[in-house]
Amino acid sequence: MAPGTTLPVDIPTNHTCDIDDRFLYLVVPVGYSVIFILGLLSNLVALCIFFLKSSTLSITVYMKNLVIADLLLVLCLPIRIYYHNKEGPFFLCRMVGISFYVSMYASIVFLSLISLDRYLKIIKPVQVFRIHRAEWSRKTACIVWAVFACSTFLLLLCEKGTEPCDKICFHFHRKRPAGGAINLVVVALFFILFLVFVCFYGTIGAKLSTMTLGGSDLQARSRKKKIVVRTYVVPAIFTLCFFPYHVVRVPYILSQMDVIMDVSIQQQLHMANELMLILSAVNSCLDPVIYFFLCSAFRKTVRCAVQGRCKLSMNERAVSFNRSANEF
C-alpha cells in the first residue's frame, strides 16, 4: 500500500426502524377488530334501512353517503390488522391507507353537511334553502366523492419512501416538506370546520332555550329535553372521535418532517397518533346512533326489529322519512 493511502471506512447505516409499536402491537389489532365487527354490522343494517325506499329529504341523502363512507373505512380494517407492524405490498398498503383516510374525511364532510342542514332548519324553519332539496344534496355528494377520488389518484402517484420505517405498512413514515405541508393544511381546515361547528351549535342552543313548544307543562319540557339531546348527538360524536386525533396530528406531522428530531418524542407521538386514530375509527360505529336520533324511519325500523314485529310497510316508511324533515 502506498504511503499516505487511507483504508476505506465502513459507515454504519441503520437498516431498522427506530420507531416501534410496543404495546400497540396488541392494542391496534384488537381495537380495529372490535370496530370492524360492530361497524360492519351496524352500517349494513343502516344501509338496508336507508336503501329500502328512496327519500326526498336532503338529510337522508347525506346519511346514505355517510353510511357508504363508514363502510369503506370498516372494510379497510382487515388489511390494516393483517399487515400491522409488517412489511407488505407497497401498492396495497398505500391504497388501503389512502382509502382509510379518504373515508374518514368523507365522514367528516357529510357530518358537517348534516349539521348545516339541521342548523338551517332550526334557525330558519320557514325558509327553504337549496341545500334542503334532495337533488341539490345528491349533486353535492357527487362533488364530494369526485374530489376525494381525484385526491386518491394523486396520492397514489407519490414515490415509495426509502427510510427503514417506510417499508412497514401503516407505520411512522417520513414526509417531505410538500407532503407535510399538505397534511398540515388539512388539519387546519378541520379546525376551521370545528369552529364553524361550535358556532352552529351555540346558535342552535340559544334558539332552543327560547322555544316554548306549546306550554310549560311536563310534556312540553320532556319534548324540549329530547330535542336538545337529539340536536347535540352530532357535535358530541364529532368532537369525541375527531378532535383528539387532529390535536395530536400537528406535532406528529412535524415529527415526520423531522422538525421534531428527538427519537423518543417521535416514538411517543407515534403511539399517541395510533391510539387517537383508533378513536377516530370508532366514529363508524357511532354514526348509526345519529341516524337513530335524527331519522324517525330508522328509529321505528330498529325498534320494530328489536321487538320482533317489523310491520312497517314501504309506504309507511316513505311517510316516516318525509316526516323527518321537521324532526329535531
Residue boundaries of the structural domains of the chain: 24-326
> Which residue reads 399517541 in cell numbers?
272
247 three-class SS: helix
> What confidence tens digit (pLDDT) does each residue in 223-233 have?
777 777 777 88
Non-local CB neighbours of 12 within 8 Å, separated by 6+ positions: none
Query: For the stretch 257-289, what's the b/e string if a residue is b when 16 or more beta carbons lie within 10 angstroms of its beta carbon?
Result: beeeeeeeebbebbbbbbbbbbbbbbbbbbbbe
Residues in the chain: 328
Residues 271 and 112: their CA atoms lie apart, in Å, by 28
**Regions of the chain with pLDDT less than 50:** 6-13, 312-328
Q: Tell me, what's the pLDDT at 253?
A: 95
Q: Which amino acid, 250? A: V
> What confidence tens digit (pLDDT) does each residue in 249-277 have?
999 999 999 999 899 999 999 999 999 99
Q: Tell me, what's the pLDDT at 327?
A: 45
- For 24-326, CATH number? 1.20.1070.10
Q: Tell me, what's the pLDDT at 118?
A: 84
114, 67 in Cβ contact below 8 A? no
Q: Tell me, what's the pLDDT at 326?
A: 40
Record the cell numbers describing residue 211, joined without a space.
322555544
Q: Tell me, what's the pLDDT at 190?
A: 95
Record the cell numbers describing residue 58, joined without a space.
336532503
Q: Tell me, what's the pLDDT at 324?
A: 41
CA dihedral 117, 191, 272, 162 (to 10 degrees): 110
Give the predicted TM-score (pTM) of the model.
Answer: 0.85
Q: Tell me, what's the pLDDT at 12?
A: 42
Give φ, ψ of 11 to 5 degrees.
Answer: -85, 120
324: nearest Cα among 51, 56, 35: 56
27, 48 in Cβ contact below 8 A? no
202: nearest Cα among 194, 190, 192: 194
164, 14 in Cβ contact below 8 A? yes
